[in-house]
Structure 1
Amino acid sequence: MKRTPYFYLVLFVSKLVRFLLLKLGRNATNFPGELAIWLCRSFIGRMPKPEKVVCITGTNGKTTVANLVEDVLERTGADFYCNRNGSNVYSGVASLLISNSDWRGRPTKKLAVFELDERSSNLILPYMRPDIMLCTNIFRDSYKRNAHPEFILDFLNKYIPDGVPMVLNADDMMCSELKPGNPRAYFSIARQPSDGEGSRNIVQDVPACPRCGGELKWDFRRYHHIGRAACKDCGFSSPKAGYTAVGLTETDMEVDIGGESFRFPLANSAYINVYNSLAAVALLCELGLEPGKIAGALGSVGISATRYMEEEVNGRKAILHLAKGQNPVACSRAFQNIRDYPGKKAVILFLDDFFDAQHTVENVSWLYDADFEFLADGSVVQLIAAGARHWDVYLRLLLAGVPAERIDHMPGTGGAAEVLRPGEPDSVFILYDVYTIRLAEDTQRLVVERLKKEAAKNAD
């Protein structure tokens, strides 16, 4: 798009506003871009772009994958910028372009990595063509935004430009069909001993062939619609992947890349985190990095503390675990991770939607798409539901088969740590929504203090 004098005026004003916000101690990750787009709707399209643009999207895992990619690029000396500490919607992308350009709008670095909210693709991708794009998966999400995954698939198909090379999840039959005419590379986890043919989840968004609606024959279904299958009618099947994790341990994965085997470290061996690490490896390889360099850089990288963090006290743990309230698939993954975690567990649930609690009424029907049944396992010795919707969560836990004597619930969040039963759990999980990380961190500190007091008392 042509750059007019008015565009340069908007750029100058936005940069000045960003400068003033930073002087005032604000982070300036969203407002300068929001202002620029308000003043000039085509601002992103007119703004000069770096030589190479990488975009990462998907329902779940895009932030973790973006963080892994950015960490590896940083450790391998790449000259790039990213929206790691900012918004993944159109205003955040505009702010990032503003902050990484000179006063004439020329980019200061040659590579940009953007995490993109899938619902913002219509406001970004028509004006910024990626050189490569990764999609982690396509699931149903919040009923307010992305409850129908086929809607999201259609949305992305409409706005991702033709010809953009794609990196896609071969084990997701919706994700693997994204932009079918574009060049593509796939990643996959080979069948593991724990995989079976039947889904253990309430939500199954691919009950039939995505192409013809015929019956699917599953080789295995790992969770929800993640797995490998073929259509009995039209022959459509899960695609063969060029990046396949063939062996998994607690600490690493063996990946077949074009017939050659490489080992990459894992920060966490839960399937969702294996997929995230594998997606990052595939994208980095497609960018031209050597697998050995990627493996070396990943060795010093962990999961973002805003997604998962453990703190140990005398052999017991207080664990922060993102659950993404109103997202039944993300919550189900968290619940299964807790069930599979060794030892006895207590779980504090902060699942209320932050903005709904402030301004409106929350739709709780998503609770019945989430697999709370995982929390009925005998290893989960206590569940604490805290927040305005504590009665709804309490009812859902009862319907999931959790004995009432294991459940505590309360309208306030401040006292959740205080009702922990002393001595019972080996680990305390704190599950929280994206926007309640500060509440979760404060609660983790209180849990750690409580565990320390118990340890000191037992030592006496």
Structure 2
Amino acid sequence: MKNSKKKTMRFYLTLAGIKVLIKVLQLCGRNATHVPGRKAINICPDFLDQIDKPEFIIGITGTNGKTTVSNLIADVMQDNGYDIIDNRFGGNIDSGIASSLIKNSTMGGHMKKKYAVLEIDERMTTKIFPYVKPDILVCTNLFRDSYKRNAHSEFIAGILNQTIPSTSKLILNGEDLVSNHLAPDNDRVYFGIACEDEKTTSTNNIIKDVVACPKCGAKLNYEYIRYNHIGRAFCPNCDFGSPEMDYAVEAIDYEKRKVHIRTPKGNMEVKLLGDNITDIYNTVTTVAALEEFGLSAEAISRSFEKMKIAGTRFNCVEVKGKKLITDVAKGQNPIAVSRVCDFVRHEPGQKAVVLIVDDFYDRQDSSENIAWFFDTDFEFLNDPGIEQIIVGGFRCPDMHLRLLMAGIPEEKIVCCDKEPDTAAYVDFDKVDNVYILHDIYTTQYAKAIQKSLSEQLEKEGR
């Protein structure tokens, strides 16, 4: 275990009390995720500093993809016999990480496990990195996120540059000119996609955050753009530009469901987990982290055969020849929602899209900010293959307006102020497949809609 500062009596009393609290919460059927850690930090402000940490920590941060990448890294390590701590059932802020460490420590605050894989919210690194220092730190990408939390990607990059430990080896997106210039003095490797096909070609996005060189202000020259500012570029006036990639996807075989990746140790082949470009990036990111950790290509590839995307993120059921698909479109995150809209328009067949992306969590304590609607590429849904768009939720009139601004014919749009009722408006005579795009906090509604549509198909005997 990593040494921590000298433990105080307050720490020992806090730890004992919180362990009792965890038992009580678990007996009540609660996961004991945020609450124990929050209580511990409130009672003992330097709790994270005093509790022992695992010997080796892999941290994963970034705007999009960090949950999937964290889960994949943890699953592969566990499949290869590593007993790890993770926070997949906790939170990615300081209280969630504190809860995970408490659950895996002795009454004396000593760590029971040698390894940890921790998802870390990029904004919360100011409260985490002074005490929990990753040996390997993955940054998937940096984009605009919720305006209330993260504002602009350069703002978050500034926070990370101030907080990333100098001892952390960085695994960075070689095609993201924001994140791949983080902490320039740290040891690092880069990952990315080095091949072109119909699913990785450029898209005409509303947002492109990196247009001018941050060093000299000249307009950057892009060799290619995958989406938004993800691509390869160089400055014609100075040395700023994209780095060479150490881990690169060189071919994607959609038929055989394989991804071919070049690594510093040679070439390898792993299972293709999903067809979205974000799935490809998540795969090569995970491979880079695991090989840098020390796993062999054979071990990674073997474990990947058992992996799949979490059902809460993407789920597909087929009923009477029609696919009913739920897909997370992270609310208040214009890049994440744009990626899903772009993915849907390229999928085969005639489609209905159910949009339920209101942010319930935000609505609890404040007024939901919908400015992100206008940074999101809903124009991608203006496609001949999309026959219906059914909008559900309190904000459906605002979304209706945004879809009309995207050029979508009004006759294709249906508004419904109650999310579960959207299922009643799907016209199966017009569509082959239904895509239910939902926020993290509307997952329960997405499942209910999928179930309702399935029952409807079975009842009609289609």
Pairwise CA distance, 1:360: 2.4
Does structure 1 residue 361 correspond to structure 2 residue 367? yes
Contact 1:195 1:221 in 2 (8 A): no
The answer to whether the aligner puts 1:59 opposite 2:67 as a matched pair is no
Map of 1:200 onto structure 2: 204
Cα distance per residue 1:172-206 (max 9 Å; x no partner): 01110011110001101014144899651001110
- 2:440 is the alignment partner of 1:444: no
Q: 2:401 is matched with which residue? A: 395
Pick from 85, 100, 111: which aligns with 1:96? 100
CA deviations on 1:209-268 (whole Å, 9 max, x unpaired) are 233222211110010000011111103221011101011122121111127221111110
Where structure 1 has 5 or more consecutive residues not aligned to the other structure, the ranges are none
Q: 1:118 aligns with which of 118, 122, 128?
A: 122
Find the aligned partners of 1:197 and 1:389 in 2 and give their Cα distance.
33
| Higher mean displacement: 384-393 or 16-25 | 16-25
TM-score, with structure 2 as normaliser: 0.96
How far apart, in 2, do the equivalents of 1:225 and 1:23 lie?
A: 48
SS of 1:385's equivalent in the other structure is strand
What aligned pairs does 1:27-426 form with structure 2 within 5 A after superposition?
27-194=31-198, 199-250=203-254, 251-258=257-264, 260-426=266-432
Distance 2:58 2:394 in 1: 40
Residues 166 and 183, structure 1, Cα contact 8 Å, conserved in 2: yes
Q: CA deviation at 1:315?
A: 2.0
Amino acid in the other structure paired with 1:340: H
Q: Give distance in 1, aligned partners of 2:335 and 2:149.
A: 14
- Deviation of the 1:42 alpha carbon: 0.7
CA distance in 1, matches of 2:33, 2:367: 29
Distance in 2 (alpha carbons) for counterparts of 1:4 and 1:348? 54
Structure 2: runs of 5 or more not aligned: none
SS in 2 for 1:414: helix
TM-score after normalising by structure 1 = 0.97
| SS of equivalent to 2:243 | coil
For the 8 Å contact 2:55–2:114, the answer to whether it is kept is yes
Between the aligned partners of 2:133 and 2:84, the Cα distance in structure 1 is 17
Identity %: 43
Structure 2 CA distance, aligned partners of 1:72 and 1:195? Answer: 26
Equivalent position amino acid for 1:431 in 2: L
Give secondary structure in 1 for the equivalent of 2:204: coil
Shift of 1:355: 2.3
Letter in 1 for 2:429: G
Number of matched pairs: 456
1:5 CA drift (Å)? 1.3
CA distance in 1, matches of 2:171, 2:339: 23
Secondary structure, counterpart of 1:152 in structure 2: helix
C-alpha distance after superposition, 1:267-320 (max 9, x if no partner): 102111100011000000000000111011011101111111111112211111
Q: Per-residue CA shift, 1:86-131, capped at 9, x if unaligned?
A: 1111100000010001111111110011000111111110111111
Counterpart-to-counterpart distance in 1, 2:200 and 2:339: 17
Q: 2:199, 2:276 within 8 Å by CA — same for their partners in 1?
A: no
CA contact (8 A) 1:372 1:397 kept: yes
